[in-house]
């Protein structure tokens, strides 16, 4: 069974100028590389794009640049529109709809300790703001707490909600969601253990490291769907070793250093985000030169 929007998506990173401002030019350079990875689509304006550090005007500008870049590629575009203010979320959602995006996504409100009832209300209003399908986002490492299972199911029963991006290691919860929401499209958000999520019913993945290694993740998903467990485990191990290196540098600073190592400069990460290692650039250059990594770059 192939559910709508299924497949592998890069959680698109953001190109920044040297002064930290949004750079359409560097965004286009990133887009050009990522679009050649064979992925199903792009997830625009999420955590991997430093959205929590960008203002609404910058996110609107990024939506427009990516829509223009991807227009002729046939890739599916999902706009992440989760913002601390529902008003801003709706503005981002309607802008994405006007630009021709295919779907929306949003993490739950998290600036305050919102109740499950408030989170349900947020998604009810957001899904009604456009006609686009909405992908809910369960990400406890970002929001500070998981959403209760019954609340998640209630959210996914809303009219325009098509599915869920699940970035959690609670694999039992993922399996319960698969049983209770058989028609929902489920994405798994931890790159380094995608194999586990797919085996438990995820229809695809949305990940940061897909920006660089999209071909690897397409091959990983293909191996899983073909039942080739040995090949899937081999590819997942390459992914896990790459992510392990990023944990030392900081994921986004390390990713941007990795891009520079292959000749693409996405700019700095936005302050206060910093490279965690003095030799982080050299460290990621060494990682990118490893044969098992280099073969997936191009």
**Tens of each residue's pLDDT in the chain, 298 residues:** 789 999 999 999 999 999 999 999 999 999 999 999 999 999 999 999 999 999 999 999 999 999 999 988 999 999 999 999 999 999 999 999 999 999 999 999 988 999 999 999 999 999 999 999 999 999 999 899 999 999 999 999 999 999 999 999 999 999 999 999 999 999 999 999 999 999 999 999 999 999 999 999 999 999 999 999 999 999 999 999 999 999 999 999 999 999 999 999 999 999 999 999 999 999 999 999 999 999 999 7
The radius of gyration of the chain from alpha carbons, rounded to an integer in Å, stands at 18
Class of domain 7-228: alpha beta
Cα separation, 63 vs 252, in Å, equals: 20
Residue 83: phi and psi, rounded to 5, are -140, 160
Q: pTM of the predicted model, to two decimals? A: 0.97
Which listed residue (9, 101, 137, 194) is catalytic? 137
Which listed residue (165, 194, 210, 217) is catalytic? 165
Cα separation, 98 vs 5, in Å, equals: 19
Distance of CA 127 to the CA centre of its chain: 19
Q: Is 137 labeled as catalytic in the residue annotation? A: yes
Cα separation, 277 vs 41, in Å, equals: 32
34-70, pLDDT tens digit by residue?
999 999 999 999 999 999 999 999 999 999 999 999 9
Give the C-alpha distances (Å, rounded to integers) separating 207 from 9, 41, 233, 283.
7, 11, 18, 22
128-158, pLDDT tens digit by residue?
999 999 999 999 998 999 999 999 999 999 9
Residue of 151, 84, 161 whose CA lies nearest to 129: 161
Q: Is 173 labeled as catalytic in the residue annotation? A: no
């Amino acid at each position: 069974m192939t559910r709508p929007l299924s497949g592998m998506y890069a959680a698109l990173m953001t190109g920044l100028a040297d002064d930290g401002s949004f750079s359409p030019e560097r965004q286009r350079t990133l887009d050009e590389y990522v679009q050649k990875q064979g992925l199903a689509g792009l997830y625009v304006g999420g955590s991997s794009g430093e959205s929590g550090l960008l203002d609404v005007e910058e996110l609107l500008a990024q939506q427009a640049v990516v829509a223009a870049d991807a227009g002729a590629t046939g890739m599916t575009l999902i706009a992440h529109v989760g913002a601390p203010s529902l008003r801003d979320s709706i503005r981002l959602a309607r802008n994405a709809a006007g630009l021709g995006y295919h779907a929306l996504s949003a993490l739950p409100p998290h600036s305050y300790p919102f109740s499950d009832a408030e989170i349900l209300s947020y998604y009810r209003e957001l899904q009604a703001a456009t006609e686009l399908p909405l992908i809910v986002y369960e990400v406890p490492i970002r929001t500070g707490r998981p959403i209760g299972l019954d609340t998640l199911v209630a959210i996914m029963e809303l009219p325009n909600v098509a599915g869920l991006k699940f970035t959690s290691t609670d694999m039992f919860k993922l399996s319960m969601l698969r049983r209770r929401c058989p028609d929902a499209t489920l994405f798994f958000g931890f790159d380094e253990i995608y194999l586990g999520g797919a085996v438990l019913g995820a229809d695809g993945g949305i990940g940061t490291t897909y920006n660089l290694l999209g071909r690897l993740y397409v091959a990983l998903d293909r191996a899983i769907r073909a039942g080739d467990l040995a090949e899937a485990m081999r590819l997942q191990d390459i992914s896990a070793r790459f992510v392990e290196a990023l944990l030392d540098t900081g994921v986004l600073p390390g990713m941007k250093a990795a891009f520079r190592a292959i000749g693409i400069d996405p700019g700095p990460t936005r302050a206060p985000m910093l490279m965690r290692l003095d030799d982080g650039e050299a460290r990621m250059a060494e990682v990118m030169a490893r044969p098992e990594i280099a073969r997936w770059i191009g």
